[in-house]
Amino acid sequence: MTTTTRRANAARALIAARAPRRWGAWYVAEHRFRGMKAYTQTVIATGIGSPLMYLFAMGVGLASLVDANVEQNGLAVSYLVFVAPALLAMAAFEAAAEEFSYPIMLGFKWNPIFTGMGASPVTPGQIIDGQVIAVTVRIAVTSGLYYLFMLLFGAVPGELGWLSLFTAVLTGLAFGTLLMAYVATLENDSGQIAMVMRFLVLPLTLFSGTVFPLTQLPWFLQWIGWLSPLWHGTELGRVLSYGHHEPIWLTIIHMAYLLLLTVIGWMLARRVAARRLNR
């Protein structure tokens, strides 16, 4: 091969690498979307079935046992209206836990497609960005379906209720990006992810003021809710959905806390991926 030919090939390679270097995150997201096609039916079935069952069971069935409206800060609403924003945030929370756990382990370990991506012009940071893009869309779809059922059940009296969609997605990202950063550090799965699901995800859904106000918990358990992104997302949803009364500074803290967790988790995941894929 002559020097001229080598230079021409190098020039073509550099040109071909420009697009992946610039749009690598979207290429990775496209790959993840194609992977999600394998379980699209499951996503749609759970996206429709879960809100139908939860809203009917919790908002209609259990609500029939609640003999009075839920009182919070001087505002009385039906139990269905009270619990619906929490169920929406929980749906986003659980979808993020699913998509940022085993699929990330799959990409790093079991079917190390991330290693293959890292050998291309796509950077480790773009691989993580692509995961976040794809999972954000997945959470948004799940939350959107849930919100439609909330409307059908008449559980959104407030005009700003549609904004709770965004806070639900942010709730999922706040927890999911931290989970992704943790999973990215695992060399082997010897039950760590299952323990996270059982001893972190499940307790958070129970102790985050979702199906009853956080103030009903014993004082020594309320700190769990204060740390939980699910409680902050639920409270934001209630403010937007039916005008739950709380100080404006507390609403700002809810939003800032969720954004802070999302940024920390996202940056940590990028850092771990760079260290792991650039060995």
- Three-state SS for 87-153 is HHHHHHHHHHHHHCCHHHHHHHHHCCHHHHHHCCCCCHHHHHHHHHHHHHHHHHHHHHHHHHHHHHC
Q: What would the DSSP string read from start to end of 216-239?
A: GS-GGGHHHHHH-HHHHHHHHHHH
Q: State mean pLDDT over 40-67.
A: 78
Domain count, the chain: 1
- E strands within 144-259? none
Report d(CA 23, CA 28) in Å as an integer: 9
Kindly state whether residue 2 falls inside one of the protein's structural domains: no
What is the domain range of residue 46?
A: 22-278
Select from 168, 228, 170 the least CA-distant residue to 201: 228
Query: How high is the pLDDT of residue 71?
Result: 57
* Cα distances (Å, whole numbers) of residue 68 to 9, 43, 65: 76, 35, 9
Tell me the mean pLDDT in the region 76-97: 91
Instruction: Write out pLDDT tens, residues 241-257.
Output: 998 888 999 999 999 99
Tokens standing for residue 242: 């039916």
- One-letter identity of residue 205: T
Residue 8 placed within a domain:
no
- Are residues 184 and 125 in contact, defined by beta-carbon separation less than 8 angstroms? no
What pLDDT, on the 0 to 100 scale, is given for residue 240?
Answer: 95
- The closest of 84, 87, 102, 90 to 201, measured between CA atoms, is 90
193 within domain boundaries:
yes
Weakest-pLDDT range from 10-14, 118-122, 208-212: 10-14
Flag whether pLDDT at 135 surpasses 80: yes
Q: What span, in angstroms and rounded, lies between the C-alpha atoms of 121 and 119?
A: 7
Q: Please tell me the predicted confidence (pLDDT) of residue 195.
A: 92
How far CA 57 is from CA of 42, 105, 125, in Å, comes to 21, 34, 42
- Mean pLDDT (the chain) is 88
In a domain, 13, yes or no: no
Confirm whether 161 is domain-assigned.
Answer: yes
Predicted pLDDT at 86: 93
- Looking at the predicted structure, is the pLDDT value of residue 78 above 90? no
CB of 266 closer than 8 Å to CB of 172: no
77 pLDDT band (50/70/90 cuts)? Answer: confident
- Using one digit for the tens of pLDDT, what is the confidence trace for 184-220? 999 988 899 999 998 898 888 888 888 888 888 888 8
Mean pLDDT for 7-21 is 71
Domain membership of residue 6 (yes or no) is no
At residue 76 the predicted structure's pLDDT band, cuts being 50, 70 and 90, is confident
Mean local confidence (pLDDT), 142-156: 92
What percentage of the chain carries pLDDT values higher than 90? Answer: 54
User: Does residue 237 carry a pLDDT above 90?
Assistant: yes
Cα 51 to Cα 123: distance, rounded to the nearest angstrom:
38
Tokens 């390679």 locate to 13
**Domain for residue 119, yes or no?**
yes
